[in-house]
Amino acid sequence: MKFGILVNEGPYTHAASDTAYQFVKAALAKGHEIYRVFFYHDGVNNGTRLTVPPQDDRNVVKRWSELAALHKLDLVVCIAAAQRRGLMDAAEAKRNGKDADNIAPGFRISGLGQLIEAGIQADRLVVFGG
């Protein structure tokens, strides 16, 4: 089965991101395909490379980056939600006159069309978080 994943909550706000990560990991282990993981609303905060959790806590952003590298996952951060929260890649930073970017490895910024496409291409779109 081919899944599209939508994550609407930040990495340390609710369990939604952790649950989505565990779902994706389990689905891949069972041989399913993940078409795309789309981060929306506060979920875009899963894509910032500036997150520094305590050493005894899980590093949710690093987990997503590592899983994406291992399985060639498409991790997409909504551009509008990201800009509202100060998250941008190098191209967006330059376009908006900012002197730095903060997107984590494995993530990319794009529009809502990527979510729509995931819903069309996947057999199921699974939503995590309100």
The catalytic residue among 24, 34, 78, 82 is: 78
- For residue 64, give both structure tokens: 């997503």
Buried/exposed code over 98-121 (b: 16+ C-beta within 10 A; e: otherwise):
eeebbbbebbebbeeebbebbeee
Backbone angles phi, psi at 22, to 5 degrees: -65, -40
Please indicate whether residue 88 is annotated as part of the active site.
no
User: What letter represents residue 128's amino acid?
Assistant: F
User: What letter represents residue 91's amino acid?
Assistant: A
Question: Cα(44)–Cα(33) distance, rounded to whole angstroms?
Answer: 22
Active site residues: 78
